[in-house]
Amino acid sequence: MRPDRGHIDSRLSHSIKCDHTLGSVSDRMRRLSVSSAFEGGSIDVDAADDPQDVRLRLKPDDDEIDTHWFYFRLTGARDQDCKLTFVNSDRMARLAGREEVPDCWTGYRPWVSDDGEAWRRTDGEYQNGIFSIRHRPARDTVHFAYYPPYRMAEHDRLIAFALADKRARLEVLGRTPDGWDLDMLQIGTPAAGKPKCWIMGRQHPSETMASFFMEGFVRRLLDPADALARTLTEEAVFYVVPTMNPDGAVRGRTRTNARGMNLNRAWAEPDPHKAPEVVLVRDRMIAEGADFCLDAHGDEELPYVFLGGPLNVPSRTDRVADLFAAYTQAQHRANPDYRPEDPYPGGMPAEADLRMAWNWVGEEFGCLSVLLEQPFKDAGHAPDPQLGWSPARCTHFGATTLDALAAVLPELRP
């Protein structure tokens, strides 16, 4: 069940204040407007009088310092050269301890869409810690986003696609604070000895590449013409949570849920009030068990795809370390967009942070548990000058994850 429309409108009403419709000297200036009053929208407007100097403010998540996500519509600037500046983009350029990695705006190119559906990159400008978009809209409206949005209607379509196949069942794990169902797909039939594989994404709502990854993973897993996928659904059971944080996604948050919680810092001791999404998935996982887990994310800074394994959890074993090495090699063979040699950003920490899902799962179940980080920018060793790291590459990466998983499947259970 979904929240009714009135509920959504009241949640977004704060955004409506962002709309600036100006009555000023010239007709072209009077028509300029910036709005984020729609699902996933996020921006604050300081000034939208002059297309050459639109001043915007990235909205922080509650007390989180992270501020990246933007998604808004600009109206009234057709055929005009526009400069849109994020005046607070210096607030959060780099994550701590990552000095060897380029900051999040260096090499970043924003996404633009004429119709809100088809997205391409446009030009950015980064000077003295302040990032601006340079664009000349061809139409009266143009959408900008940090990465192409993935809305709940698309989540619903993916669920509906899966449920058309008898191998898939839907389980609603519970309800989020904003009233969304927390959906889990079970694919394959449980039986003694079959590995239990958990795949989840979008703990961090701004990392929509995780949703495009899920599209590729689920759609290939249920492709009846794909023999490898068929074998996987016969020999394993999959528990897939495509959208861990619907509230944050709808509200246009960078990292948090409706209660201001970064869910990927809640797994060790989840607070049922602040992180009910984690409690629901974690309880189900404890009841069912886990032999594999992949948690899909995006990274603002990294110019490569990164896979992390549970190599520094307290219960670390050589068996799991060897499994992770085999998994990464198989992923590279299946999709050279990923290279095993690309380093742990900032260096491998001495001790795993068990508040993070992949570490907690690896520790709790002693299994292969993988963190996936896809870039917002591009994979530097295999660049796409037009689109960089695109939704299509995310989807392909999700599909090729099946090859990596198939390579280690017989060894997942000790």
- At its nearest, how many Å lie between Zn ion and the CB of residue 152? 19
- At its nearest, how many Å lie between Zn ion and the CB of residue 203? 6
- At its nearest, how many Å lie between Zn ion and the CB of residue 265? 10
**Residue (15 or 374) nearer to Zn ion, CB:** 374
Binding site for Zn ion (CB under 5 A): 204, 207, 297
> Two tokens at 335?
């999709």
**Residue (280 or 372) nearer to Zn ion, CB:** 372
Of the residues 300, 301, 364, 373, only one is catalytic, namely 373
- At its nearest, how many Å lie between Zn ion and the CB of residue 355? 13
Q: What is the DSSP letter of 296?
A: E
Tell me the H-state helices in 108-171: 152-163
> Two tokens at 389?
């790291």
**Residue (38 or 108) nearer to Zn ion, CB:** 108
Contact 344, 306 (CB under 8 A): yes
b (16+ CB within 10 A) / e for 193-222: ebbbbbbbbbbbbbbbbbbbbbbbbbbbbb
Tell me the H-state helices in 205-253: 209-221, 227-235, 246-251
Specify whether 288 is catalytic: no
Nearest of 102, 141, 108, 140 to residue 122 by alpha carbon: 108
**Residue (121 or 204) nearer to Zn ion, CB:** 204
Residues in Cβ contact with 4 at an 8 Å cutoff, skipping those fewer than 6 apart: none
**Residue (109 or 204) nearer to Zn ion, CB:** 204
Amino acid at 50: D
Phi, psi of 152 (to 5 degrees): -65, -30
Residues in Cβ contact with 130 at an 8 Å cutoff, skipping those fewer than 6 apart: 85, 86, 87, 89, 90
Active-site annotation, residues: 373
